[in-house]
Amino acid sequence: MTFHMTVKAAAISLLALGTAAHADQLADIKAAGKIVTATDMHYAPFDMLKNGTYEGMTKDLFDEVSKEIGAEPVYQDIPWTAELPGLEVKKFDIVIAPVTITPERLDRYTFTLPIADATVSLVKTANSDLTKPEDIKGKTVGVQQGTAQFKQLEAYGEKLGGVTIKEYGTTDEAYADLAAGRLDAVAGSLPNLTYLVKERPETFALFEPAKFGEPKYFAWVLRKDAETETFAKAINDALLKMTDDGRIKAIQEKWLGSYTELPREVPAE
């Protein structure tokens, strides 16, 4: 009896190993007919809630990618600080909030091809006397917590000799404090700040030059395991197709007012 139980247990173990070895996220998504996503819907122009309706550049891009894959997107509004931890424990299939590609994150996650420029930049009030990025020395600058832009601002502040950094849960909160005079500037990615100034030119203005960091890119994030490889490839194939047929250019121009050619491979850093 012990022998039979051992054989049975071994057979179950082998079956489980075989199932794990052949786990495929793309196949699971197609079987379910849906892609469960997470993003922060307070990050214009990528993700916004307008009268309770989700819209933005991310949605337009991922709607098209989902069509190419053949599954319906399920969009969820999740605080940024909970997105990557939630991805790791499989609460959703992918984080579509724009995530800056960094060497540290590349070690831990699978990134898709870039979806936008993410170079850190600065915005001020329209009547501010500050002009160039170096002028933030000794000033108070807001930035969204837990972002690559925070780390770049921190390093830049140390290089200048001191900047007081105030962290915010959302960029909207930082912009509100800037408009109210509680901040001297806000650091963020160039597309976000360009859109802000475009929408509210009477209140905000970009520094000249706006950028102060090394070139960076936004992308979407998947778990880093063999199970996600086909899903990541399907997304990248869709993005390349959309680049070649002009859809990405049209979406960028709609939301950003201009087109930036993006790498056709995931940057190494």
Where do the domains of the chain lie?
A: 24-116+217-256, 120-211
Structure tokens at 206: 């970009």
Helix boundaries (H) for the chain: 2-21, 25-32, 57-69, 80-88, 103-108, 148-160, 171-179, 190-199, 229-244, 247-256
pTM over the 0.85 mark: no
**For residue 93, what is the DSSP state?**
S
Rounded Cα distance between 259 and 97, Å, is: 20
For the stretch 109-150, pLDDT in tens is 999 999 999 899 999 999 999 999 999 999 999 999 988 899
Q: Which CATH class name applies to 24-116+217-256?
A: alpha beta
What's the confidence (pLDDT) of residue 258?
A: 85
CATH topology of domain 120-211: D-Maltodextrin-Binding Protein; domain 2 (3.40.190)
Report the run of H or E that residue 142 belongs to, with start and end.
strand 140-144
Rounded Cα distance between 144 and 169, Å, is: 6
Rounded Cα distance between 207 and 131, Å, is: 5
Residue 111 identity: F
- Which residue numbers in the chain have pLDDT < 50? 1-7, 9-21
Rounded Cα distance between 170 and 136, Å, is: 21
Q: What average pLDDT is seen over the chain?
A: 91
**For residue 6, what is the DSSP state?**
H
The dihedral through the CA atoms of 191, 243, 269, 90 has a sign that is: positive
Q: Please return the burial class of 181, using the count of CB atoms within 10 Å of its CB with bins 0-12, 13-18 and 19+.
A: exposed
What's the confidence (pLDDT) of residue 122?
A: 98
What's the confidence (pLDDT) of residue 268?
A: 81
What's the confidence (pLDDT) of residue 153?
A: 96
Asked if the domains 24-116+217-256 and 120-211 are classified in one and the same CATH topology, the answer is: yes
What's the confidence (pLDDT) of residue 146?
A: 87
What's the confidence (pLDDT) of residue 7?
A: 45
Q: Which residues contact 103 (CB under 8 A, 6 or more apart)?
A: 268, 269
For the stretch 141-166, pLDDT in tens is 999 998 889 999 999 999 999 999 99
Q: What are phi and psi of 116, to 5 degrees?
A: -170, 165
Q: How far is CA 145 from CA 1, 127, 165, 168, 169, in A?
A: 60, 26, 10, 5, 6
